Amino acid sequence: MAEDTVLQLAETNRLTASLREKRDELNTTAQQLVKERDKLNAQVAEWLKKARDHREKRDEYNQKVAEFKIKRDEIHATLKDKIDERQDNENEPEEEKRKPATPVHVLRRKIRELDWSLQTQVLDLKREREIIDQIAELESELKTAEEAAEQRKESAKARTEIDDLRLLMNAHHNSVLEFARLSQEENQLMIEAYAEVDALRKKADESHRQYLETRREADETHRRYIESKQKNNRLRKELGEIRIRRRVEKIQELEERLEEKAAVALEKHKRGERLTMEEFTLLMKRGLL
């Protein structure tokens, strides 16, 4: 019985040690998986922030695109009106365009000269009337020339305004293209960031799944370890009780043998026979002498 218990205890000791070692290994693995999962989740948070930042920038650039489109279209409408207005103002008969225009300063000089002739020369009535008619004709031509000069001035101003509007419209159009390009870049970066988030989340979820599986296995191993340890304690207690019983039995056997020896020695003493030192000491200890 004791030998069987000793064998069971040895086997239980080996199993308990093996389970403890396996449990500790599983706990270490679980801790590593937790660290890996938390590291991946931290990376997920970082990439989420990057994705949101790119999305915000993309939306800002899209807003800029919309604003510059409005400005470009408004200027385009203004430019169209200016071009139509210029075309209306510059539509004159072909014969007028082909007619050589006398410069304003020449007309003014001729008028001054004729007027001076009237004031400084003594002219007959016919010549005076001719000069007056010439002056009237020149003044009419001067008025027309001045109006034409003013129109050319306005036309040049309109051309300048049209050129400025074209430049401004092109600048706004270029801004639309540039912000659209930046928006597209940010959108692509956002897509890539969210793809990285998805990939990292899958890895984090896998680490968490492995952690839970390892944790369950570690808990089960710990439960078996506790059962094995309890069995080990029961076997130790049982073996201790067996050993105590054996010692008691040995003591009882020894006591019985001593009782027998003491009885034999007492009979010898009663018969007056010589006792050995062992027999004498035995009788003395038992109070028989």
Cα dihedral sign, 122-128-130-133: positive
Give me the average pLDDT of each 10-residue run along the chain (289 residues): 75 90 96 96 97 97 96 91 73 48 82 84 82 86 82 81 90 96 97 97 97 96 93 84 81 84 84 84 79
Q: What angle do CA 210, 202, 45 make, to 5 degrees?
A: 110
Number of domains in the chain: 1
The upper half-sphere exposure of residue 109, i.e. CA atoms within 13 Å in the direction of its Cβ, equals: 5
pLDDT value at residue 93: 46
pLDDT value at residue 2: 63
Structural domain includes residue 241:
no
Structural domain includes residue 248:
no
Structural domain includes residue 251:
no
Structural domain includes residue 95:
yes
Residues 6+ apart with CB under 8 A from 215: 26, 30
Structural domain includes residue 283:
no
pTM score, whole prediction: 0.59
Find tokens 């270029």 and name the residue.
Answer: 174
Angle between helices 104-120 and 125-270 (to 10 degrees): 150
pLDDT value at residue 263: 87
pLDDT value at residue 47: 97
Structural domain includes residue 16:
yes
pLDDT value at residue 242: 78
Structural domain includes residue 253:
no
Segments forming the whole domain that contains residue 220: 2-232
* CATH code where residue 38 lies: 1.10.287
Structural domain includes residue 137:
yes
